Amino acid sequence: MRQSNGYIILFTAIMTIIVGGLLSVTSQVLGPAQKKSIELDTKSQILGAVMNLEKGDDILGIYDQRIKSLVVDINGEEISTNAKGGAMVAEEVNILKNFKKSTEEREYPVFMYMNASDSNQVDSYILPLYGNGLWDKIWGFVAMDKNGEKIMGVSFDHKGETPGLGARIRDKQIQERYKGKSIYNEGGELVSVYMIKGEKGEPLDPNHVDGLSGATLTAKGVNEMLKSYLTSYEAYFKKVNSGSAQASL
Amino acid sequence: MSTETLEKPIKKESEALFSKRRQRIVSDPLNEDNPITVQVLGICSALAVTVKMEPTLIMSIAVVFVIVFSNLIISLIRNLVPTRIRIIVQLAVIATLVTLVSEVLKAYNYEMYKVLGAFVGLIITNCIVMGRLEAYAMGNKPYDSILDGLGSGFGYAWIILAVAFFRELFGSGSVFDFKVFEAIGWTNFPTNGLMVDSIGAFIVLGLIIWVQRAKTGYVEN
C-alpha cells in the first residue's frame, strides 16, 4: 500500500500543505519584525554616513530628531506626491527600483542632517547611492557638506563582493578615506572622487582616494556609482546654493 | 485471548538514556568519523563562512538546529515515507527548516543575515544533512536520531570554528572582532591576505586533517 501511486500522491499533497502552511505562518508572524530591522538597518546606514554609531545607540530616536528628508527629480525640483497620489516620503523611495529606471526618470531622496542646536540649519546632505559591484549590487550613502562640494562621510554596503577584498568597502577604515575629499576639480568641474587602482598608502589629491588591493573591479563599481549619483544631484545643489531650494523648506 | 492475558509480556529492558552505544553515536562524528575531516562532506560552506568567528558561530548554530530537527522529523515519519520519493521528502523537510532559520535571522539579527545571506540558504545542499537523513534517520528511532544529529552537527561546528579561529586570527588579527594583537601591544601585526581568501581555508583545513589523521591513524582505503 505504501508504494501505490495513490498513497504517494496523497502523501505529497499533505506534506505540501503542511510545509506551505508553516512557511506562510512564519512569514506572517515575522513580517513586522523583519520590516523593523530593515528600517533600522537603512536608518543606521543613513546616519552612518555622517556619524560613528555605537552599539546600543537609539538610532530611530536620533534619526527622528536630526533627519529631515525630501525627494527631488533630476532637475532638482522637489517631488511632493508619489505615483499613487499620496504624500511622497523619502524613506519609502525604493532605490533599487529607481536604479533600474533611466537617470532622468529616477526619484532622488535627500536626507538632510540638521544642526543639533538650530534645527533649521542643514549640516549635511545625505544622498543614497546604488550601483553594480563585481559580483552583485553595491549601495550606500554619501554625506555632502552644505554646499554639496565636499564629502563629509560615506557608508557603503554590498551584497556579494569577495570577503577580504571587495567586501572591504564596508570597513570604516576604507570609508574614512573619503572624508574631506572634494568632488569638484580645480576647474570647477564635477569629477567625483575616484578610488585608484592598487593600495599605495600615500596621501592623494582631493579628487582621489587610495584603492583596494585585489579589488579593482569593485572599486570601479564604487567610482561609477558615486559619479553617476553625484552628477544627478548636481542640479539640486545648484538650487540649494542659489537659495531657492532653501526657501521651500 | 485468555492465554495472552495470562502470559506476562516479556518486557524488553529499555536502554539507558546515555548508554555506551548512544555515547558513541554522539562522540564518533566529533573525531573519528568527523563529517568534514574524515567523510569530507560540507566543505563548501566550511570554506565560505569561516573568514570570521561570529558568522561561523551563527552558521554552526543554524546547521546544528537544522540537522537535529530534520533528523528527528524524518525519523518520526520514516515508516510513512514512500521509498520512491524519500529524497524529495527529505529535501522538503530540510528546506523548510532552513527557510525558518533564515527568516528568524532576518527578523532578529539582520546584521548576520546580511553577512551569511546566501550561505544559510545553502545549508539545504549541505551534504552532511542529507547524508545523515538518508544513512541514519530513515532507519533509526527518533531519540537515537537526535543524538546522531547532535554528533554530526557539533562535529561540523567545531571544525569550522577551528578553521575560522585561525583564519580570523592571521587574516584580520582578531578573534570575534576583538583585536588580539593590538591588545598585547603588537600594533603593526602583518595580516595575511591569503587567510581571508578561500585558499586560506583549504590550507587550515588541510593542516587540521593532517594533525587529526596523524593522531587517529586513519588511513583512506
Instruction: Please report whether residue B135 resides in a domain.
Output: yes
> What three-state secondary structure class fits B25?
helix
pLDDT at residue A181 tops 90 = no
Inter-chain CB proximity B108 and A33 less than 8 Å: yes
Amino acid at A39: E
For position B1, what pLDDT does the model report?
A: 44
Instruction: Please report whether residue B7 resides in a domain.
Output: no
Instruction: Please report whether residue B149 resides in a domain.
Output: yes
CA distance B32 to chain A (A): 32
pLDDT at residue A246 tops 70 = no
Instruction: Report how far residue A158's alpha carbon sits from residue B114's, in angstroms, rounded to the nearest whole number.
Output: 9
Inter-chain CB proximity A30 and B110 less than 8 Å: no
Domain extent for B93: 21-29+36-216
> Is the Cβ–Cβ distance between B106 and A31 less than 8 Å?
no
Inter-chain CB proximity B103 and A7 less than 8 Å: no
Better-scored residue on pLDDT, A106 or B38: A106
pLDDT at residue B109 tops 80 = yes
Instruction: Please report whether residue B168 resides in a domain.
Output: yes
For position A216, what pLDDT does the model report?
A: 86
User: For the residues A72-88, what does the mean pLDDT come to?
Assistant: 80
Instruction: Report how far residue A206's alpha carbon sits from residue A194's, in angstroms, rounded to the nearest whole number.
Output: 10
With beta carbons under 8 A apart, name residues in chain A contacting B59.
Answer: none
- Selecting from A26, A33, A163 the residue whose C-beta is nearest the C-beta of B100 gives A26
pLDDT at residue B116 tops 50 = yes
- Please state the domain count of chain B: 1
Inter-chain CB proximity A164 and B51 less than 8 Å: yes
Nearest residue on chain B to A167, alpha-carbon basis: B115
Instruction: Please report whether residue B143 resides in a domain.
Output: yes
pLDDT at residue B4 tops 70 = no
Instruction: Report how far residue A57's alpha carbon sits from residue A198's, in angstroms, rounded to the nearest whole number.
Output: 36
User: For the residues A37-60, what does the mean pLDDT come to?
Assistant: 81
pLDDT at residue A247 tops 50 = no
Q: Which residues contact A75 (CB under 8 A, 6 or more apart)?
A: A235
Cell of B172: 584580520
Instruction: Report how far residue A232's alpha carbon sits from residue B127's, in angstroms, rounded to the nearest whole number.
Output: 48
Residue to substitute from B84, B99, B106, B110, interface A, most A β-carbons within 10 A: B110
- Report B:1-40 residues touching A (Cβ under 8 A): none
How high does pLDDT run on average in chain A?
Answer: 84
Nearest residue on chain B to A8, alpha-carbon basis: B82
Better-scored residue on pLDDT, B192 or A175: A175
pLDDT at residue A61 tops 70 = yes
For the segment A8-41, what is each residue's pLDDT rounded down to a tens digit? Answer: 999 999 999 999 999 999 999 998 998 888 888 8
In this structure, how many other beta carbons lie within 10 angstroms of the beta carbon of residue B4?
Answer: 7
- Selecting from B82, B103, B110 the residue whose C-beta is nearest the C-beta of A7 gives B82
- The model's confidence at residue B139, banded by pLDDT at 50, 70 and 90, is confident
